[in-house]
């Protein structure tokens, strides 16, 4: 078929994009003054064998398996802990708090006064209750936008990159049109012309403007994978296009898809906070953005009511930081060079220390 025809451009892109296995083998580059023979020194397992005292073949096999697996880096652990604690806070704490919309309490109570853990707002809302329910609302919007953006980016990215031909041209045209439309002004216009802005409407508006960048990235990777040997073999075997995409291409793009999903969640939470701060957020739910909007309208900064705006802003920053750290860890899975070069550097330095100690011991024995 014409749409599956391998073009010269596809071949060039295939040579430009390095697979995970090739990247692991290419991890031995000159870094921090290391010798240019690092690939041979590290790749054959001789240096690791010198350090551990084990056979080179066993050390090499175990090292390759370990390099191909995602590592528990400090940034991944910290990111998962921060994100996990906030998610648990959003799921559990709202069941044990007061009504976040109740105004039956005294206004501007300081933290701890009259049993209010984080005080109250100017109109008597319990800040702790609003913070807990706002976490749930913000996370729901973030996950919804992430899913919407993921679906659109897979359709306009992976399908377009694999199918090629007129399908690629049509889907790419739509992607390019959406890409040049300013996302923030479009979101503001769509939100402003909605009389009743529900949480799901805001999530839908943000989702429609958050997928273009991810689609371009996925399309580029899909175009490089379509000319790989295992994909060509599946075509020759008569496999359907949707099965090749689902079985051969999509699994190889899962780390990249996960990274784009997390980026969509971060974009959604920050975008909702920005819209709410401008008075264009959801009117039927409490979110961290609506808390900041109410604090602005209530002159919390002027009144010195720091407990009104600091907690939601701090949680937005912490959640963005946690998701970004997880995203950085996923980048190490996508590009093994990011983790293999430091590992190779440490192995060479450790082997050099062993050699230096052995040489010093030999000199002392000779003396």
CB-based contact 281:202 (threshold 8 Å): yes
For residues 142 and 36, membership in a common domain is answered with no
- End-to-end C-alpha distance for the chain, whole angstroms: 78
Contact 322, 331 (CB under 8 A): no
Query: Do residues 217 and 271 share a domain?
Result: yes
Domain of residue 165, residue span: 71-334
CATH number at residue 158: 1.10.3720.10
> Are 157 and 33 within one domain?
no
**Within a domain: residue 101?**
yes
Cα dihedral 347→348→352→353 (10° resolution) = -30
Distance (Å, rounded) from C-alpha 33 to C-alpha 223?
37
CA–CA gap between residue 174 and residue 169 (Å, rounded): 9
171 and 239 housed in the same domain: yes
Q: How many domains does the chain have?
A: 2
Does 353 map to a domain? Answer: no
In this structure, the answer to whether residues 160 and 126 fall within a common structural domain is yes
Same domain, residue pair 133 and 232:
yes
Q: Are residues 287 and 180 in the same domain?
A: yes
Is 131:100 a contact under the CB 8 Å cutoff?
Answer: no
Under a CB-based contact definition with an 8 Å cutoff, are residues 287 and 134 in contact? yes
**33 and 83 both lie in a single domain:** no
The answer to whether residue 329 sits within a structural domain is yes
Considering Cα of 36, then 39, then 41, then 47, what sign does the dihedral take? positive
If we measure between CA atoms, which residue out of 272, 278, 260, 307 comes closest to residue 135? Answer: 272
Rg, Å, the chain Cα set: 27
Tokens (6 digits) for 205:
């508006």
Same domain (yes/no): 13, 154: no
Q: Is residue 10 domain-shared with residue 106, that is, in the same domain?
A: no
The answer as to whether 263 is a domain residue is yes
In b/e form, how buried is each residue of 252-291, taking b as 16+ CB within 10 angstroms? bbebbbbbbbbbbbbbbbbbbbbbbbeebbbbebbbbbbb
What is the model's pLDDT at position 41?
A: 43
Residue with token string 């659109």: 152
Clarify whether residues 9 and 144 are in a common domain.
no
Across-strand partners of 169? Answer: none
43 in any annotated domain: yes
What gap in Å lies between CA 69 and CA 258, rounded to an integer?
Answer: 16
Q: What is the pLDDT along the chain (367 residues), one digit of tens a residue?
A: 444 444 444 444 444 444 434 433 433 444 444 444 444 444 444 444 444 455 544 445 455 445 445 566 788 889 899 999 999 999 999 998 888 888 777 878 888 888 888 888 888 888 999 999 999 999 999 999 999 999 999 889 888 888 888 888 888 889 888 888 877 787 778 777 777 788 888 888 888 888 888 888 888 888 888 888 888 888 888 888 888 888 888 888 888 888 889 888 998 999 888 888 888 888 888 899 999 998 888 888 888 888 888 999 999 999 999 998 888 888 777 666 666 656 666 677 777 777 777 777 777 776 6
Residues 92 and 168 in one domain: yes
């Amino acid at each position: 078929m014409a749409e599956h025809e391998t073009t010269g451009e596809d071949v060039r892109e295939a040579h430009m994009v390095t697979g995970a296995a090739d990247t692991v083998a290419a991890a031995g580059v000159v870094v921090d003054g290391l010798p240019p023979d690092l690939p041979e020194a590290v790749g054959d397992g001789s240096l690791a064998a010198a350090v551990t005292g084990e056979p080179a073949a066993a050390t090499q096999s175990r090292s390759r398996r370990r390099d191909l697996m995602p590592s528990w880096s400090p940034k991944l652990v910290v990111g998962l802990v921060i994100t996990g604690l906030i998610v648990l806070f959003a799921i559990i704490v709202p069941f044990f708090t007061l009504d976040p919309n109740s105004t039956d309490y005294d206004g501007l109570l300081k933290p701890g006064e009259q049993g209010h853990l984080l005080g109250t707002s100017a109109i008597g809302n319990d800040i702790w209750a609003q913070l807990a329910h706002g976490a749930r609302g913000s996370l729901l919007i973030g996950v919804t936008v992430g899913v919407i953006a993921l679906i659109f980016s897979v359709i306009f990215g992976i399908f377009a990159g694999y199918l090629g031909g007129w399908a690629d041209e049509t889907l790419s045209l739509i992607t390019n049109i959406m890409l040049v439309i300013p996302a923030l002004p479009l979101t503001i216009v769509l939100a402003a012309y909605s009389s009743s802005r529900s949480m799901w409407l805001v999530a839908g508006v943000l989702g429609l403007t958050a997928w273009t960048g991810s689609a371009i990235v996925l399309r580029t990777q899909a175009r490089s994978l379509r000319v790989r040997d295992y994909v060509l073999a599946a075509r020759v075997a008569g496999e359907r296009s949707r099965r090749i995409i689902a079985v051969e291409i999509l699994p190889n793009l899962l780390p990249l898809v996960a990274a784009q999903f997390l980026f969509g969640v971060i974009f959604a939470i920050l975008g909702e906070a920005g819209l709410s701060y401008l008075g264009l957020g959801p009117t039927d739910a409490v979110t961290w953005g609506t808390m900041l909007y109410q604090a602005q309208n209530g002159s919390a900064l002027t009144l010195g009511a720091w407990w009104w705006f600091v907690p939601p802003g701090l949680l937005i920053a912490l959640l963005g930081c946690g998701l970004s750290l997880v995203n950085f860890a996923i980048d190490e899975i996508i590009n093994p060079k990011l983790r293999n070069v430091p590992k190779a550097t440490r192995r060479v330095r450790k082997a050099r220390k062993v050699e230096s100690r052995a040489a010093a011991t030999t000199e002392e024995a000779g003396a």
